[in-house]
């Protein structure tokens, strides 16, 4: 079945949109259908740039996928920290290899293409730089997995019976969505389980530092839990699990904070909708999606933007 261009909201789309409208255009409009070999070259270029990733994201994905594999294991076959860490490091190495060898050219959606390679950044310019850069992410993965297995707050999660799991992410769950205020919302949690009293505890695995957006994301999951699992707020608690140091932070979600989050989603989706057009009909006009002005402090974001070659930055 052919994919159709449609409006959707997610916390990451919203943050992208808030930071740079033009990047939002390149990612969700200009590059749409750019996977078709017969598409205009600009579309193909925007699509390929939209698929670029970076090593911190690959390392984060590696930990997420390995923890999901740990939770999906059959009883009696549960892995230990070393095995989970080995899976994640193998994933990181495979992705780096796909990017370095140019395998992504066969399919930008199936194989990893790193912005570090595409833009020939300092960290991949010579063998020593690559070794040091790669090692820093291997160490990050090992610290995160160690943090998961050593955390006392997560002991009951590690020991829980799979019968009590409410949700474990898998490759298909990335496409899960729900509808709020007539808007399709993407935002799937990592892991949730039910305690003996029927209370649902949701965990978001974090391999990076705490971020201002973390609590908002957990509010989005609280809405997801209500709409998809029928779990009311009184029976729901969400946590950010910062795996680097094993710290688990409970998010204070109240009826008022949840209403504020819904209002924030409504306002953000409304602003995005004002610029929305059907990209199945063509690439549209990028002008209503302005670039960050060069003289703005916000232009610091351009240095790490996947699309910087299109903006000449
Ligand atoms: S390079 Fe800067 S202005 Fe251009 S899309 Fe990226 S963030 Fe926006």
pLDDT by 10s per residue, the chain, length 313 = 678 999 999 999 999 999 999 999 999 999 999 999 999 999 999 999 999 999 999 999 999 999 999 999 877 788 999 999 999 999 999 999 999 999 999 999 999 999 999 999 999 999 999 999 999 999 999 999 999 999 999 999 999 999 999 999 987 777 789 999 899 999 889 999 999 999 999 999 999 999 989 999 999 999 999 999 999 999 999 999 999 988 999 999 999 999 999 999 999 999 999 999 999 999 999 999 999 999 999 999 999 999 999 999 9
| Ligand 1 contact via 311 beta carbon (within 6 Å) | yes
CA distance readout (Å), 216 to 79, 83, 303? 32, 33, 26
pLDDT of residue 1: 66
pLDDT of residue 174: 73
Nearest CA to ligand 1 atom 2: 302
Distance CA 69, CA 274 (A): 41
Distance CA 167, CA 160 (A): 13
- Could you tell which of 20, 25, 27, 303 is best to mutate to test the pocket of ligand 1, judged by most ligand atoms within 8 Å of the CB? 20
The structure tokens 């994640």 sit at 88
Determine whether 275 is exposed, middle or buried from the number of CB atoms within 10 Å of its CB (0-12, 13-18, 19+). middle
| Ligand 1 contact via 292 beta carbon (within 6 Å) | yes
Nearest CA to ligand 1 atom 5: 23
Distance CA 219, CA 86 (A): 33
| Ligand 1 contact via 46 beta carbon (within 6 Å) | no
What radius of gyration, in Å, describes the C-alpha atoms of the chain?
20
pLDDT of residue 74: 77
pLDDT of residue 43: 96
Strands 200-206 and 165-168: unpaired
Residue 9, helix vs strand vs coil? strand
30 touches 46 (CB < 8 A) = yes
**Burial profile 96-124: b = 16 or more Cβ within 10 angstroms, e = fewer:** bebbbeeebeeebeebbbbbbbbbebebb
19 closest CA partner among 306, 253, 310, 258: 306
**Nearest atom, ligand 1, residue 308 CA:** 1
Q: In degrees rounded to 5, what are phi and psi of residue 4?
A: -115, 140
Distance CA 134, CA 311 (A): 29
Distance CA 271, CA 137 (A): 37
Output the CA 306–ligand 1 centroid distance in Å: 8
pLDDT of residue 61: 96
Output the CA 147–ligand 1 centroid distance in Å: 35
pLDDT of residue 155: 95
Q: Output the six-digit token pair for 179.
A: 């509808």
């Amino acid at each position: 079945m052919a994919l159709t261009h449609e409006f959707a909201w997610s916390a990451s789309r919203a943050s992208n949109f808030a930071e740079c409208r033009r990047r939002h255009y390149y990612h969700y409009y200009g590059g749409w259908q750019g996977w078709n070999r017969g598409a205009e070259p600009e579309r193909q270029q925007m699509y390929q740039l939209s698929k670029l990733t970076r090593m911190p994201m690959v390392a984060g994905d590696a930990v997420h996928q390995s923890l999901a594999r740990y939770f999906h294991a059959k009883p009696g076959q549960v892995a230990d920290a070393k095995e989970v860490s080995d899976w994640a490091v193998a994933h990181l190495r495979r992705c780096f290899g796909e990017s370095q060898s140019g395998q992504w050219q066969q399919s930008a959606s199936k194989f990893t293409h790193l912005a570090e390679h595409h833009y020939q950044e300092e960290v991949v310019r010579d063998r020593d730089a690559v070794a040091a850069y790669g090692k820093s992410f291997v160490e990050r993965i090992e610290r995160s997995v160690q943090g998961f297995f050593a955390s006392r707050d997560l002991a009951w999660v590690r020991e829980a019976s799979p019968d009590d799991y409410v949700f474990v992410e898998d490759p298909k769950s990335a496409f899960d969505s729900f509808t709020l205020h007539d808007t399709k919302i993407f935002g799937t949690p990592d892991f949730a389980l039910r305690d003996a009293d029927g209370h649902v505890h949701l965990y978001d695995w974090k391999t990076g530092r705490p971020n201002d957006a973390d609590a908002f994301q957990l509010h989005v999951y609280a809405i997801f839990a209500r709409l998809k699992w029928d779990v009311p707020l009184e029976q729901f608690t969400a946590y950010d699990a910062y795996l680097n140091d094993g710290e688990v932070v409970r998010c204070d979600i109240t009826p008022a904070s949840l209403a504020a989050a819904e209002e924030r989603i409504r306002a953000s989706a409304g602003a995005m909708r004002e610029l929305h057009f059907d990209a199945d009909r063509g690439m549209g006009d990028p002008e209503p999606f302005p670039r960050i002005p060069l003289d703005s402090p916000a232009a610091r974001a351009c240095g790490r933007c996947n699309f910087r070659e299109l903006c000449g930055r």
